[in-house]
Amino acid sequence: MAPTQSALSRRAPKPGFAKPSVVTPAVLPEAAPRPPYPFSAIVGQDAMRRALLVAAVDPAVGGVLVFGDRGTGKSTAVRALAALLPPMRAVAGCAYSCDPVEAGGLCPACAARRGQGLTVKTVPVPVVDLPLGATEDRVVGALDIGRALGAGEKAFEPGLLARANRGFLYIDEVNLLEDHLVDLLLDVAASGVNTVEREGLSLRHPARFVLVGSGNPEEGELRPQLLDRFGLAVQVATPTDLATRVTIVRRRDAYERDPAAFAAEWAPEEARLGAQILAARAQLAEVDVPDAILEAAARLCLALGTDGLRGELTLMRTARALASLDGAGTVTLAHLREVAPSALSHRLRRNPLDEAGSEVRIARAFAEVLG
């Protein structure tokens, strides 16, 4: 008996209505984050490394300005130093990563909740890049437009300074940044507080960070008034020693081929240096600066003709931080001699009759005045 038409229609698939097959995409494992280049593995550039270490021990020395050729490890050193430091304890959910044990450094929201107990988390030391095109609102923070339009309430949207609190704020090509922004950043870095007064908002929040600016002098120089505001300034150059260049290339190649293995190889040295920085921070307040050292700093600045007293203050703070880093209990002339070029070279007036570089002039004045 032949099948009926209705039976045939039940057996035959209906064109255009076939059930599509569902393909579940494969879930790829998350790639492990690439470790930064170890600070201890940086070859040469001793002045830059020393300035960054000193600023990490005592941010009160002021920002660090690094001028020099491209490809000399300026940004690498900043990121490596931040990774070298152990993770920090911060208030959970706080946009400013407030320190839960430092009552005087809490933002208004954390200070209000302190009596109820603050939830604490561990976060890495932040490194925030400030792009050249950043506006003042993006840097200091501004009115939260979304909440203003949606809920009709005034709320603050934190900027880059909030993210950089207790960490590092890095500006590449700082000599190309607008002068008023550089001035603003230096003011906040010196005070440790960001004050916002705009669109009916009035707010102060902690903004303690190490300001690091880098640039190529061929692309323009900072105004002398801004140069003087940076605590330390160092010049970096492409190494001319053959063995140094070979070592740099060999280490960089090893890192690029296997970052994790290279970082593991340098981990013991990184741990030692990180512990040294923490010990120096803890000991800093106990380091003695004798009157003779203060007098020597003042005599050196007088001989070099530096304007104001920033030179003496920076010399004292930098020498004290270096002494603490060395594990010394007292600042000596040797510490002063070592930090004088980075603390004073950018504060010297240009002398058309003296073609010697800043570091040569400082070394000469040190020998003449202090022996």
Annotated catalytic residue 310: yes
Residue tagged active-site, from 49, 166, 310, 320: 310
Same-domain pairing of 318 and 299: yes
For residue 330, what are the domain limits?
Answer: 287-370
């039940």: which residue's tokens?
A: 10
Q: Please report whether residue 141 resides in a domain.
A: no
191 has pLDDT over 80 = yes
Tell me the torsion sign for CA atoms 340, 51, 359, 41. Answer: positive
Q: Among candidates 230, 243, 146, which has minimal Cα distance to 186?
A: 230
Same-domain pairing of 224 and 165: yes
Give the mean model confidence (pLDDT) for residues 149-178: 82
* DSSP reduced 3-state for 128: strand
- The verdict on pTM exceeding 0.75 is yes
Same-domain pairing of 210 and 275: yes
Percent of the chain at pLDDT exceeding 90: 34
More confident site: 350 or 2? 350
Q: Please report whether residue 365 resides in a domain.
A: yes
* Number of domains within the chain: 2
Summarised one tens digit per residue, pLDDT across range 200-247 is 778 888 899 888 988 887 777 777 777 877 899 998 888 889 999 999
Q: Are 161 and 139 in contact (CB under 8 A)?
A: yes
Q: Please report whether residue 352 resides in a domain.
A: yes
Same-domain pairing of 70 and 195: yes
Across the chain, mean pLDDT equals 84
Per-position b or e across 7-21, b if 16+ CB within 10 A of its CB:
eeeeeeeeeeeeeee
Q: Please report whether residue 68 resides in a domain.
A: yes
Q: Among candidates 90, 119, 121, which has minimal Cα distance to 106?
A: 90
Same-domain pairing of 184 and 275: yes
| The two structure tokens encoding residue 54 | 């000193």
Q: Are 186 and 225 in contact (CB under 8 A)?
A: no
* DSSP reduced 3-state for 120: strand
